[in-house]
Structure 1
Amino acid sequence: MNPSRPAPLTRVDGSPVRVLVVDDEANLSDLLRMALQNEGWDARTAANGQEALNLVREFAPDLVVLDIMMPGIDGMEVLRRLRSTGNDVPVLFLTAKDAVEDRIAGISAGGDDYLTKPFNLEEVVVRLRGMARRHVAAAAAAETRLRVGDLTLDEETYEVVRGGIPIKLTAKEFDLLRYLMQNQRRVLSRSQILDQVWSYDFGGTSSVVEIYISYLRKKIDSLGEALIHTVRGVGYTIKSAE
């Protein structure tokens, strides 16, 4: 590895940044894919609008490079459909059109950046790198909020809200709820909870987990569907029916 080369930018969980390149020119999209893979990113290609929409659902990219002029579903329509479903993935438009009104139309439609063909490959990579940094930073900020159904917990502000109603928790109740939410749908044993929330040197009552689970249920499950569940003989889990 070249020691002068910076470490690859990654997602919050440490996995490679995902980029979807959409262009009906196979040679161009393959060239971009290889350049992005050289960045250490996971890059895939789509040859048309419908394939792009399918891959967005399956691949969940962090960035999309989108050609405007494509047969069938063009780039503008792809973006319109993405935004209509609430998908705010950053989009870099590529197009042969260089008129100012076309650039304005692309940005106004919800695009984040715009390059005209022919373009400099290095410039595309640099622009995507900047977009990726902003996306990763936003995702990292969002990571402070845990969500299960209509229940949210903010690890930065220590705020817990369910269905718009603030819930006041003690410090230990908060720690227990956070541990459950960090492992939602996973069944946690009593010993795991004691270890992570109270630590090994806990010297209190042996029924402390059950007591605090009941406290949380009174404050949280009373506001809607039951989220905290007991799995007999195993432990506890938090999950929503949604």
Structure 2
Amino acid sequence: MDDDGLLYRVYERRLTKELDAFDLPQHLGVIVDGNRRWAKEAGESTEHGHRAGAAKILEFLSWCDDLDIPLVTVWMLSTDNLRRPPEELVSLYEIIDTTIGQIIDAGYCVRLTGSAQALPEEMRTGIARAQEQASVESSLTVNVAIGYGGREEIVEAVQELVRDLAAEGLDGEQIAGEITVDTIAQHLYTRGQPDPDLIIRTSGEQRLSGFLLWQSVHSEYWFCETYWPGFRRVDLLRALRNFCRRERRYGA
């Protein structure tokens, strides 16, 4: 190992030890952005960038598991992404399908977060089959956000809630009275889970783009310039240290 590599390992160990004194996030969200730009700068194809990004997801999850972070939501494909060229989407679907299988093979509990109806039927069938084989008892649960959009999630939650209330025989005024923050939350994709404590976005973009809009009302954010395939464990540790040093007042 050269001197730079040794210094990196020493710094990484120091950051890890520093985090021992803090409570880490119980739910970590990550927007894995910058695969295509990373590939372009490396003189590689878009598909190569997506495959490198997918491999990084598996690595990232192993870091979270090592740190005892129990819940991670990874945004792999947004509803906006569905407007990309067909040839890119075909490749993306295959990469995502393979990655979900690898996450399951790693022993993590997988939960689909998003609208399966937005995906090709073959992919929906493959994901459903894979989820049947997934572990339900794992130290790490992974929400795989595919075909996901924050506005769409809220609309679907309200629609589902209204249908449920109408099925109980309630009239319009009664239904309106039953629509609350709590009842909507009970119909989100993440129902039964804590809201994200920290959301990380790579590639230098400083916006949510619709990621977990409802759930992120009290989330902390950490943006970094690094493209997702180049994201390192030390980058995660820095994000966590930054999070741990913040005072979360929740508006009080």
Normalised by the length of structure 2, the TM-score is: 0.30
Structure with greater strand percent: 1
Instruction: State the structure with more CA Rg.
Output: 1
Structure with greater helix percent: 2
